[in-house]
Amino acid sequence: MKFIVSSSLLLKNLQSIVGVIKQNNTLPILDDFLFEVKEEELKVTASDLETTMNVTLPLTKVEGTGSVAIPARILMDTLKTFADIPLTFIIDDEKLDIEIIAGEGKYKLTGHNKDEYPNLPELGDTSSFIISSSVLVDAISKTIFATGNDELRPVMSGVFCQISEDNIIFVATDAHKLVCFKRNDIKTDQPSSFIFPKKPLNQLKGVLSGLDDDVKIEYDDTNAFFSFGNINLFCRLIDGHYPNYEAVIPTNNENILHVDRIQFLNSLKRVSIFANQSTHQVRLNISGQELVLSAEDIDFSNEAKERMSCNYQGEDIEIGFNSKFLLEMVNNVDCEEITLEMSSPNRAGIIKPVDDNENEDILMLVMPVILN
């Protein structure tokens, strides 16, 4: 088998899928890319058993067809050193010896048998919907930071997706913070729900950023399949029941703070530097039309306090939050003004963006901390 391909084209496409490959694989074959040549096209696959990605690209010239697994690290390191030049791959189908010719250079390495490579999961009776890449990236970016890392509660390590006849909802929580992202312009006649793992979503976020493609998502009870452009991604869904997130969202929040997002974010960044490095506690004292942010670290005699004007309706309140959680949330909304809705110092606060996007609704919940 022999084929010619552009080095820059090959590198660009491999970079879009190489993130699937783990550093320490239990199966040595998973350190490889699977190359499959057929009908003047090259399909390259990367997998870690849970997540599988493949990309298809055109070849300049092809002699013969076949498949071989090629070690990913040495191939990627080699491709990064080339300018945009044609590469000739010559593969011995029996010995699996691989020769790469680039200009005046020749490079040889040993491939592995394709039969050792895991097969793609087979989808059963599937449902599907279409979502634009920009909306999917937005949904991932605004929820994935709130997922948990508790191995004993795997359902909370992923992003819950619920699609119905009215909308699509993405939810993430780690029990300290929760994000609910809703789009009213995406719906289906077949309501369903499932939990996406974190790794494939991060892969999608990286590959889709900057693209203007529609993404088709197919799913059954155990797997999901994403297809867009020349890339496909398969992932195993997280098995289990997601907690009833709606039950923890307080509804009667009579104390409502309106504040400029950037001004609040910058004040929070400065004040949080002086907070205790284990609790990250920041105090919000709101009275009248004034918000005072303060933090202290008694062990090191550090203290910070900032005042800022705000628009506030409600009773005077003093409430504490973990500044890391607040910063993550305020960083992940893109609007000029936000609201913080509260009922009491010991109940969750609700952050919402103030904007005019009728198709999008986002709610962020953050649990308070007991003030020292």
55: domain CATH number is: 3.10.150.10
- 70 pLDDT exceeds 90? yes
pLDDT at 260: 96
Q: What average pLDDT does this structure show over 254-282?
A: 96
With respect to residue 121, please indicate whether it lies within any of the assigned structural domains.
no
Is the same domain home to 233 and 255? no
Q: What is the mean pLDDT of residues 235-258?
A: 94
- The angle, 0 to 180 degrees and rounded to 10, between the axes of the packed helices 323-331 and 261-272 is 150
- Report the mean per-residue pLDDT for the chain: 94
Residues 145 and 111 in one domain: no
Is pLDDT at 338 greater than 80 in this prediction?
A: yes
pTM of the model: 0.92
Tokens of 150: 């508790």
At residue 126, the pLDDT reads 87
Of all residues in the chain, the percent with pLDDT exceeding 90 is: 89
Nearest Cα neighbor of 370 from 344, 338, 352 is 344
Say whether both 295 and 227 belong to one domain: no
Other beta carbons within 10 Å of 325: 23
87 vs 57: CA distance, rounded Å: 14
pLDDT at 207: 95
Burial 79-107 (b: 16+ CB within 10 A, else e): beebeeeebebebeeeebebebebeeeee
- pLDDT at residue 24, rounded to an integer: 87
Residue 41 in any domain: the answer is yes
Q: Which DSSP string do the residues of 320-357 spell out, in sequence order?
A: EEEHHHHHHHHHT--SSEEEEEES-TTS-EEEEEE---
| Residues 255 and 365 placed together within one structural domain of the fold | yes
| 154 and 226 fall within a common domain | yes
Asked if the model's pLDDT at residue 111 lies above 80, the reply is yes
Same domain, 282 and 238: no
In a domain, residue 108? The reply is yes
Selection from 162, 194, 203 nearest residue 181 by Cα: 162
CA distances from 134 to 160, 205, 335 (A): 19, 9, 17
Residue 125, pLDDT score = 86
Q: Is residue 215 over pLDDT 80? A: yes
Residue 99 and residue 41 in contact, taking contact as beta carbons nearer than 8 Å: no
Same structural domain for residues 57 and 145?
A: no
- Backbone phi and psi for residue 152, each to the nearest 5 degrees, phi listed first: -80, -15
Domain boundary among the residues 243, 276, 294 is at: 243
Residue 177 in any domain: the answer is no
Higher pLDDT, 372 or 194: 194
User: How many domains is the chain partitioned into structurally?
Assistant: 3
For range 101-130, the mean pLDDT = 91
Which domain, by its residues, includes 307? 249-369
Which residue blocks in the chain are alpha helix, DSSP H? 7-15, 72-79, 133-141, 198-208, 261-272, 323-331
Asked whether residue 292 is assigned to any structural domain, the reply reads yes
Q: What SS3 state is found at 160?
A: strand
228 and 253 belong to one structural domain: no
Query: Does the structure show a pLDDT above 80 at 356?
Result: no
DSSP-derived 3-state class of residue 280: coil
For residue 21, being part of any structural domain is answered with yes
Greatest distance between any 2 Cα atoms in the chain: 80
Residue 263 and residue 231 share a domain: no
Check whether residue 35 and residue 106 sit in a common domain. yes
Q: pLDDT band at residue 123, thresholds of 50, 70 and 90?
A: confident
Mean pLDDT of 200-204: 96
Q: Is residue 27 part of a domain?
A: yes
Last residue of a domain, one of 221, 243, 265: 243
Contact 228, 169 (CB under 8 A): no
Is residue 176 assigned to a domain? no
Res 355 pLDDT > 90: no
Provide the H-helix boundaries in 65-185: 72-79, 133-141
pLDDT score, position 370: 87
Last-in-domain residue among 243, 271, 294 = 243
Which of 101, 81, 77 lies closest to 91, judged by CA? 101
The answer on pLDDT for 165 being more than 90 is yes
Q: Within this chain, do residues 210 and 266 fall inside the same structural domain, yes or no?
A: no
